[in-house]
Structure 1
Amino acid sequence: MIRNSERKKVIHCNLMSVFLAAAYNPKAAVVFHAPKSCSHIAYNAFWEMRRKIENQKNLKTEHDCSNLFVTGLADKEAIFGGEKILKECLLDVVAEQKPEYIIVAAGCAAGVIGDDVAAICQEAEQTTGVPVLYVEGSGFMNQKAVDGVLSITKAICQRFVYPLLKKTKDPASIAVVGMNSIFSPTKEIQEINRLLGLFGFTKIYYPPGGMSLEQFKDMASVSAITAISFLPKTLVEVEKFAQQFAEKREIDYIKLKIPNTMDAVYEWLQTIGTVLNRTTEAEKLEELEKQSYNKFLQQITTHISNKNYIFA
């Protein structure tokens, strides 16, 4: 019965989140193994968000969604399988676009007909020499929502970061996983950067959004990692990944959350100070933050005193 099945749950297609997570990655191509209409979802979402995001973040780019491709599964492939057109599509993308790597995501149709997408990706990579990363998930055919940011981060780290984990640790470098640096609110990113900067972190990576292949490789030298998901439902999985990364890299894992109150800011400083064994420094920073906040309150109080306001 429908009442006792998974069908009554709202499950979002993973294709849009996968593309938006990598839409601004230079020299990366995203291929959907799905009908043409599926790419329309991601295409529309990109254009609806592009102007607003680029204006807010002052991004100087002519990005036009030209790194999105779709195999165009049709009735014929739905009956006889679509592995052939997937491989042809991957070969064409390499020949025409010359990407540094390709991200492949499958839609519902590919999941239903049982195409071995992972095997085709591997075969295409062997033929072209271009890394082809398969992101698991088949459109709506999942028991839970697929986090494109986390899925691509995992795939990219597995391919480009983990092989370089023996690089020397950079004390000024930290990774923040779970956030989409392009589409996350600007003020949140700025505040996270500011607070991490108080402890000397000047190289802050937010995989995978907007990062180049060289930046992914440089991420292998981070001295700490934290997990802050802008999707609360996926926070547990994001934290689990961050902990595993820290264990592989043998670095500090700092459990944090987006600081949306002053008390949360103080808690941030205390937590980072404790993990990094810099509690004295954290206490001084906390006192400076309190002084700055009190000064701000005094200025606001002076500004609004003896004035009438209408709140709408």
Structure 2
Amino acid sequence: MTKEPMTMYSVAFYGKGGIGKSTVSSNVSFALSSKGKVLHIGCDPKSDSTRILLPGRKQKTVLRAFQEGVGVSFEDVALIGKGGVVCIEAGGPEPGVGCAGRGIITAFDLLKEDIFQSVDPDYRILDVLGDVVCGGFAIPMRSDYSDAIVIVTSGEFMSLYAANNILRGVKALGGDTERVLGIVANLRGLEGERAILERFAELVDIPIISVIPRSGEINDCEKENSPILEMFPESGIADSIEAIADRIERASKGEQRLYRACPVADDELETMVRGQIIEADRKKTRKSCSRSGKHIETCCAAGAVDIGYYVDSIDILLHSPRSCAYIFSSFHDRMYSNDAGLRTFRICPSGEAMHCTEITDSNSIFGGAEILRGKLEEMASRGSTDIMVITTCMAGIIGDDVANICRSFESTHPSVTVVPVLCDGNVRGDMGEGLYMASVAMLRYVDMSVEPSPDHVNILGMSFMKLSYRKKMDALKGLLGLFGLKINCMFIGGCTLEDIRNLRKGSVNLIMSNVRMARDLAEEVRRIAGIDYLDSPAPIGYAGTVEWIRRLASLTGTESRIQHTLFQLESKYSEIIGRYRPILKDKRVAIHCNAPADISWAVDTILDLGMHIDQISFDQSQGKRPRSYCVGDHGLEVLFPCTDVEAKSRLMDDPPDLVISRSPVLKTLECSHMGLTDGFFALSGIEDLCRKISDEIILGGRSGWEVRP
């Protein structure tokens, strides 16, 4: 319902120190000056809120006048600024002494007695420091001083933390009263920043009323002490400022609703920023910011570092404390040393590629920009020409503008390419998100002038599926050889920068796993490099391979080749089944999986071998229900949920010949046992499964043999 216009409408702007609320609020005051008389009061001890409204003019603060002991009058503390805005600064004590919060209380007591009655404005704008909402700094948000609250924030964690604390203050003072006008998103240029702010706005149930992009126009106005609307009246930022002023005007007339303060617990806020699923008591299901949709398991920066190890001739610079570099490099070297297959894809030990800025406690206070620049200079002087800069938690917390530092360094070192990956540790997500972010960042090297070759393809998502066995690669190459296709680039897995530059030589991209990040990467490659992809992972099993061949042939225009290919495939499959069927026919099998998985290829193979499946069961450890395709269309009953103990109890009276499961509980049954293999591409996985089943039934279990992998 519309209410009568108020004599004066007061709005308090709150936000973390340095977030830009003084710039925003003073520009809003200038915008409102065309709608009525405006009183602008700076409530920060720095006394810099009215600077662009009073260019070059010094102003006595309320507390300085009070300190001088001569009384506080309108003439002493008020100046008329641009647009006719009446400007006042509350002031505060010298840094390190006194209590600024108490100073705000005193200043408002003095203003209330005299100054407020002298001005009689239509709008009053209060610019308040919001890092610590103590009793003093909370005074301007009280209902007798402000009608509405505007929160200015960026997508940085500490800025959001301050915004959430401000909401706590509003709630403490006003309970469930609707006092918040909205959120102003003052962007810092972080990757994915708008998405983070949108998630925060959804979490606290308060809308974003204006988005102010990071722009040099604001810096130009600050240098000239000029409002945006005066210096750049046709700019997008001017539109953003006017949007805030218009909303305040509508709110003063009762035409714009306000919102209740709904702060969240610190751990819930941190969970949102980290990307975990939030079970907030708001009768909503909130989505994860992690692409995997899972809780954080590993560090995003660790995933990005991992990508660096997959690419030859790129150096990794970790903007982090020394301990992060030690942890990441130790993890990598342990895997590199212990797994010969992994060395097929990881290029070198970490010591040959890892560098670190070694952020210290001092840097965390004063910033790490200079040590980052210094380390880049050092690496360039030693011959590094391609550098991937990866940020960790500390770099994100102290707010170093890493992307801008990298651009600036490149501008003065044209022979060096610096690729920033702004993980900020685990703030952006888990290890999988880091793999994705670094992979997308590497697309910068793609040479768009390269023409596609019809007989070459790219392999995407190598690192997402831990493709670490030569046998898998041999199987994949054999499958592609059926079409006369060759691998151009394994993006990213054991490739060089030259391979990435020539990525467009591959006419089609093939994704290696069914995880969402592999598909997201394929979408990004299509958007940036213009290469289409086959929306189906490399297949395991006969039926999946046949379908995959048909789809790939359609995409590559090689339909004329597939009849002979399919005939060869069918003949090979029949030969494999025919070799093992006499041994395994009429044997009984039970399958139990500790988590839902697609086992249709294995079920198809087992049935084609003439074996009988007594039981298929899935545990619910991952909280997911197995989908219909998990076992194929054979009319088989699927037990779900079914624990290991329940699966065993159903089989105890009449154990099958073989139990396929990794459960220690089921291994106590008197029969042969084996774990279900991950499988290799095309028919290689089928042959591997048949061989293992045959070995286990003939040599394992009841015969007293135990076959170890």
* TM-score, length-scaled by structure 1: 0.85
Q: Note if 1:195 corresponds to 2:479.
A: yes
Q: Residue 156 of structure 1: CA displacement?
A: 2.1
CA deviation after TM superposition for structure 1 residue 277, in Å? 3.0
Quote the Cα distance in structure 2 between the aligned partners of 1:178 and 1:3.
33
For 2:353, which of 42, 58, 67 is the aligned residue? 67
- Counterpart of 2:448 (choices 160, 165, 170) is 165
CA distance in 1, matches of 2:552, 2:314: 34
| Equivalent pair of 1:173/1:202 in contact (CA under 8 Å) | yes
Alignment partner of 2:386 out of 95, 101, 122? 101
Deviations 1:209-266 (A, max 9, x none): 3222222222232211233347x24234223224324xx43x5422121322222111
Query: Who wins on radius of gyration, i.e. which is larger?
Result: 2
Q: CA deviation digits over 1:186-215, x for unaligned, max 9?
A: 243333332222222213311233222222
Report the residue type matching 1:219 in the other structure. Answer: L
SS at the partner of 1:133?
A: strand
Write the letter of the residue equivalent to 1:226: L
Which residue, 521, 525, 542 being the options, matches 1:262? 542
Change (3 A) 1:216 1:3: closer
TM-align CA RMSD = 2.9
Partner in structure 2 of residue 184 of structure 1: 467
Q: 2:522 aligns with which of 233, 239, 250?
A: 239
Could you tell me whether the CA contact under 8 Å between 2:463 and 2:493 is conserved in 1?
Answer: yes
Larger helix share, 1 or 2: 1
Change (3 A) 1:55 1:238: closer
Between the aligned partners of 2:560 and 2:402, the Cα distance in structure 1 is 53
Aligned: 1:120 with 2:400: no
Tell me, in whole angstroms, the C-alpha distance in 2 between the residues paired with 1:202 and 1:130. Answer: 32
User: Which residue of the other structure, out of 557, 563, 567, is the alignment partner of 1:277?
Assistant: 557
> Match of 2:318, as an amino acid?
F
| Contact kept? 2:301, 2:425, Cα under 8 Å | yes
- Total equivalences in the alignment: 304
CA change 1:140–1:252 in 2 (3 A) is closer
Using the size of structure 2 for normalisation, the TM-score is 0.40
Moved more, 106-115 or 54-63: 54-63
1:115-154 alignment to 2 at 5 Å? 115-128=400-413, 129-142=415-428, 146-154=432-440
Task: Say which structure, 1 or 2, has more relative contact order (CA 8 Å, 6+ apart).
Answer: 1
Query: Percent identity between the aligned chains?
Result: 21
- Which 5+ residue runs of structure 2 have no aligned equivalent? 1-264, 277-294, 586-693
Preserved CA contact (<8 Å) 1:173 1:224? yes
Distance 2:359 2:344 in 1: 37
Say if 2:315 and 2:387, in contact at 8 Å, map to a contact too.
Answer: yes
Aligned equivalents of 1:145, 1:26: Cα separation in 2: 21
Q: For the structure 1 residues 289 and 6, does the alpha-carbon distance in structure 2 shift closer, same or farther, using more than 3 Å as the test? A: farther
CA distance 1:56–1:179, shift in 2 (3 Å): closer
Aligned equivalents of 1:261, 1:6: Cα separation in 2 = 43
Cα distance in structure 2, aligned partners of 1:83 and 1:61: 30
Distance in 2 (CA, whole Å) between partners of 1:6 and 1:270 is 47
Residues 1:89 and 1:119: Cα distance change in structure 2 (over 3 Å)? same
Shift of 1:69: 0.8
1:16 to 1:71, Cα distance in 2 relative to 1, 3 A = same
Structure 1 residues 93 and 222, CA, compared in 2 at 3 Å: closer, same or farther?
same
CA gap 1:211/1:227 in 2 versus in 1, 3 angstroms:
same
Q: Describe the superposition over 1:6-65 as per-residue Cα deviations: whole angstroms up to 9, x where unpaired.
A: 528332312221122121433210011011111122112211210233356668976453
User: Aligned partners of 2:345, 2:460: CA distance in 1, in Å?
Assistant: 21
CA–CA separation in structure 2 for the residues paired with 1:243 and 1:115? 31
